[in-house]
C-alpha cells in the first residue's frame, strides 16, 4: 500500500482541491494528481469525480478516506510510542471536549503541565455526542463529556460534579429573589444554547410536566454569547454553574434557585477500556 499516496489523497479530500493540496504539501499540482492516479490504479477504483472545478469523493473514495485517517492516527500513535520509549515524560496527549466541559479540564491540565512540561497537550473542540465514537476510532485518547456513555468499549471517571444554574441580570425583576417556582417563568425569554444535550431535555420535560411554556425565542452558539445577553437583561438562561462562577462572584449575574428543578451535572473523563493508553494518558489518569 502506498502510504504517501494515501496522505496525498487525504489532503486533496480535505482541501477539495488539487492546487490547495499541492500548496499545503509543498508539491506541484501535477505531482499531486499523479499520486492520486497511482493510488486509484493500485486500488482499481476511481476515488474522485472531477466535475469542472468541483471535486466529489466517490463511494470508494469515502471508504478510502476513512482508512487513510486511521492510518494517520496509527502513524501518530507510533511516533508517540517511540518518543515515550525514549522518555516517558514526553509524548502527545489528545483530549476531546466541548466548549463548556473544557472549563472542567483547566485545573487538571495545569497540574499535569507542571508535572509533565514536555508532553504536548492538544484539546480538540468536539460535539459531546461525537466524542465516544472518536475515542473508539482512535481519533482521541481521552474525552470529557457531561453524560455516561452506554458503551462497554469505554470506561469513565467522574472528575467534577456541578449543576445547572438559573441566572438572570442584576436588573431583572427576579434578581432579588432567592428562589422561584417554574410557574413564575412562563413569561420569561430564555436564551438557549443551540446544542442538544441531555440537560436541556430535563429542563424541557419539567416545564412540560407542569404545563408552563418555555419560551426559547433566542438560541446562541456559545455560552459566552448567552452570558452576555443575560447580563444585558435580554433574557434568562440555564447554564452550567462553573461557566458563570466569575460573573456570580462579580455580581454581573445572579443565580436563583428553581424549586422544582435541581439538575446535577456530572462531568466524566472517558477513555477506551480495551486499548492500551499511552504513558502520557496514563499519567493524566493517575493524577486525577
CATH for 73-160+267-286, among 3.40.50.300, 3.40.190.10, 3.40.50.1820, 3.40.50.2000?
A: 3.40.190.10
pLDDT in tens, 33-49: 898 999 888 889 999 98
CATH class of 3-68: mainly alpha
Amino acid 175: pLDDT? 96
Q: One fold for both 3-68 and 162-265? A: no
Q: What are the b/e assignments for 14-31, b being 16+ CB within 10 Å?
A: ebebbeebbeebeeeeee
Say which residues have a Cβ less than 8 Å from residue 24's Cβ, sequence separation at least 6: 11, 15
The model carries a pTM of 0.62
Domain 162-265 belongs in CATH node 3.40.190.290: yes
Say which residues have a Cβ less than 8 Å from residue 89's Cβ, sequence separation at least 6: 116, 118, 119
Beta bridge partners of 54: 51
For the segment 207-225, the average pLDDT, to the nearest whole number, is: 93
pLDDT in tens, 236-267: 999 999 889 999 999 999 999 999 998 888 89
Q: Work out the number of other CB atoms within 10 angstroms of the CB of residue 287.
A: 11
pLDDT in tens, 55-100: 889 999 899 999 888 888 888 878 877 766 556 556 789 999 988 8
* Cα 61 from Cα 45, distance rounded (Å): 8
Say which residues have a Cβ less than 8 Å from residue 153's Cβ, sequence separation at least 6: 136, 272, 273, 274
Domain boundaries, the chain: 3-68, 73-160+267-286, 162-265
196, exposed or middle or buried, with CB in 10 Å at 0-12, 13-18, 19+?
A: exposed
Query: Does residue 221 or residue 51 have the better pLDDT?
Result: 221
pLDDT in tens, 168-180: 999 999 999 999 9
**DSSP strand pairing (48-51 vs 54-57):** antiparallel
Amino acid at each position: 500500500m502506498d502510504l504517501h499516496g494515501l496522505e496525498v489523497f487525504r489532503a486533496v479530500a480535505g482541501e477539495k482541491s488539487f492546487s490547495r493540496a499541492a500548496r499545503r504539501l509543498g508539491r506541484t499540482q501535477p505531482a499531486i494528481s499523479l499520486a492520486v492516479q497511482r493510488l486509484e490504479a493500485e486500488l482499481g477504483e476511481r476515488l474522485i469525480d472531477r466535475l469542472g472545478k468541483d471535486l466529489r469523493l466517490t463511494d470508494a473514495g469515502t471508504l478510502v478516506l476513512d482508512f487513510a485517517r486511521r492510518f494517520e492516527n496509527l502513524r501518530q500513535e507510533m511516533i508517540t510510542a517511540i518518543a515515550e520509549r525514549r522518555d516517558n515524560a514526553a509524548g502527545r496527549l489528545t483530549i476531546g471536549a466541548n466548549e463548556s466541559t473544557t472549563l472542567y479540564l483547566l485545573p487538571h491540565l495545569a497540574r499535569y503541565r507542571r508535572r509533565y512540561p514536555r508532553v504536548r497537550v492538544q484539546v480538540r473542540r468536539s460535539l459531546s455526542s461525537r466524542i465516544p465514537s472518536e475515542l473508539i476510532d482512535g481519533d482521541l485518547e481521552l474525552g470529557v463529556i457531561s453524560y455516561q456513555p452506554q458503551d462497554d468499549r469505554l470506561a469513565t471517571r467522574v472528575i467534577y460534579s456541578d449543576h445547572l444554574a438559573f441566572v438572570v441580570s442584576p436588573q431583572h425583576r427576579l434578581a432579588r429573589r432567592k428562589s422561584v417556582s417554574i410557574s413564575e417563568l412562563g413569561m420569561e425569554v430564555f436564551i438557549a444554547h443551540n446544542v442538544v444535550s441531555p440537560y436541556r431535555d430535563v429542563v424541557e420535560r419539567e416545564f412540560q410536566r407542569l404545563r408552563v411554556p418555555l419560551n426559547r425565542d433566542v438560541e446562541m452558539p456559545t455560552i459566552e454569547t448567552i452570558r452576555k445577553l443575560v447580563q444585558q437583561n435580554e433574557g434568562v438562561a440555564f447554564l452550567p454553574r462553573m461557566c458563570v462562577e466569575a460573573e456570580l462572584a462579580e455580581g454581573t449575574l445572579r443565580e436563583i434557585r428553581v424549586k422544582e428543578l435541581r439538575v446535577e451535572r456530572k462531568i466524566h473523563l472517558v477513555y477506551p477500556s480495551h486499548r492500551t493508553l499511552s504513558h502520557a494518558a496514563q499519567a493524566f489518569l493517575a493524577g486525577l
